[in-house]
Amino acid sequence: MKKNVYLKDFDYYIDEYMYNCRSRKLRPKTMMSYEQTLRLFERWCLEEEKIAEPGQVVESTIRHYICSLQERGKYTFYSLENNKITYNPSRRRDFSESVSTTTINNYIRNLKAFYTWYSDATASRNPTEKIRQLRNKRKAREYLDDAEVESF
């Protein structure tokens, strides 16, 4: 009897990770963020690094991806080519502006969460363990002075 052989590529592991997230009752917004980040990373890996499986990703792959995020503009890369047609991002006012450090840090956090799960599930090395968040410039908070407080 012939066994079915399933390709365990990015799609397979992203789907499994999303089942894991759903079973832990993560919020829909969190799950949507995870999936969007992972699908973008999957496409970037395929197109830029010719990597088809999460196990082929090494620390330098993640670092190259971070540099790519810093260099490219917003909405210039999509997880699905149909998004370019459906959402027509070139009409956005912020199209092609730089991706914020906060957004890149969200991507890093999401990739770290995925690869922590993946390394546990497959007993493989986690390529994100030495990856750290980028330094983010903090905006100074504006406080009301005493006269402004009294005017309220």
Residue 96, sorted as left (phi over 0), alpha (psi -120 to 50) or beta, turns out to be left
Give pLDDT tens digits for 125-140.
999 999 999 998 777 6
Give pLDDT tens digits for 54-108.
999 999 999 999 998 888 865 555 555 555 555 555 555 555 577 888 989 999 9
Domain boundaries, the chain: 10-151
Cα distance between residue 21 and residue 31, in whole Å: 7
Torsion angle in degrees (nearest 10) through CA of 107, 79, 89, 137: 10
116 vs 92, higher pLDDT:
116
Phi–psi pair at 140, nearest 5 degrees: -70, 135
